[in-house]
Structure 1
Amino acid sequence: MLVAFSVSPLGGESDSVGEAVAEAVRVVRESGLPNETTAMFTTVEGEDWDEVMAVVKRAVQAVQARAPRVSLVLKADIRPGHTGQLRAKVDRVERYLSGPTEY
């Protein structure tokens, strides 16, 4: 299961969200689950809902500790029996890009 999510503080005194977002990313990295952070989302991969959503919940709580309000955007790819998709999905696209231009 892949879950891409973005968690951000709302309200408070600063326009900068970087410090609070860093705390959420720290939670994800400390989870030990495969993950990747980009400019817009953090993607985490796990075996099932409980495992992945527990990490998302802790990440939200980390941001919530710093802000009066929190925004969460989440997208999930639920495909039982498939692991290693965090990298494999990108690798498949890269193969198409490097191959012949006709499909």
Structure 2
Amino acid sequence: MLVAFSVSPSVTDAEGGVTAAVADAVRVVRESGLPHRTDSMFTTIEGEWDECMAVVKACVDAVAARCPRVGLVLKADVRPGHSGELQGKLDRLEAQLDEG
């Protein structure tokens, strides 16, 4: 499965930023060993249901350590029997675009 999610504190730092708290969550993702990709809005991870949800929960916990209230946005693509889709979906899209 692919899980795209965003975790953010409801309270910002003195300058209105959330970078430090988000960095704590991204560290959790990187240490998980799951295939992942982070962009400016979401982090996407790939794995089995239980391992993905465990990483999402650990990310929420990491942000909650800095702030008493955490926002979570999550979207999942549940497709049993498929792996390598973090890149595979993009490769298929690019191939289709190349065909015109």
TM-score, normalization: structure 1? 0.92
Alignment-derived partner of residue 20 in structure 2: 19
Identity of paired residues, percent? 65
Larger radius of gyration: 1
SS at match of 1:20: helix
Following superposition, the deviation at residue 73 of structure 1 comes to 0.0
Q: 5 Å matches for 1:24-35?
A: 24-35=25-36
Q: Which amino acid aligns with 2:67?
A: A
Following superposition, the deviation at residue 98 of structure 1 comes to 1.4
Partners of 1:13 and 1:36 in 2: CA distance: 25
CA contact (8 A) 1:7 1:24 kept: yes
Following superposition, the deviation at residue 12 of structure 1 comes to 5.0
Q: Which amino acid aligns with 2:35?
A: P
Partners of 1:18 and 1:80 in 2: CA distance: 34
Following superposition, the deviation at residue 91 of structure 1 comes to 0.5
Q: 5 Å matches for 1:1-103?
A: 1-11=1-11, 13-14=13-14, 15-46=16-47, 48-99=48-99, 101=100
Following superposition, the deviation at residue 65 of structure 1 comes to 0.3
Q: Supply the RMSD in Å over aligned alpha carbons.
A: 1.0
Moved segments of 4+, more than 6 Å = none
Q: How many equivalent pairs are there?
A: 99
Runs of 5+ consecutive residues of structure 1 not aligned to the other structure: none
Following superposition, the deviation at residue 71 of structure 1 comes to 0.2
Runs of 5+ consecutive residues of structure 2 not aligned to the other structure: none
Following superposition, the deviation at residue 96 of structure 1 comes to 1.1
